[in-house]
Amino acid sequence: MFFREALTDLPQGDAARFIYPQEVANLCAFLAGDHAAAMTGAPVHLDFGTTAGVKGI
């Protein structure tokens, strides 16, 4: 019940869900690889656009 209620106010509506551990692992693998070499301390938000105010994803 707690987890369902935690998702009710998110801008994604019925599509809102929690991040899967594999999604976090994929981001970590990308950041550890050569493709992310140009990134220097930039924050990466893995939250379906919630912190950016994106709705309807």
Q: Torsion over CA of 16, 57, 54 and 22, rounded to 10 degrees?
A: 60
Tokens of 43: 């924050």
In a domain, 28, yes or no: yes
Total tally of structural domains belonging to the chain: 1
pLDDT truncated to tens, each residue of the chain (57 aa)?
888 888 887 777 888 888 899 999 999 999 999 999 999 888 888 887 777 766 655
Which residue segment(s) compose the domain that 1 sits in? 1-35
SS3 (DSSP) at 15? helix
In a domain, 6, yes or no: yes
Per-residue pLDDT, 6: 83
CA nearest to 51, candidates 22, 5, 10: 10
pTM of this structure: 0.69
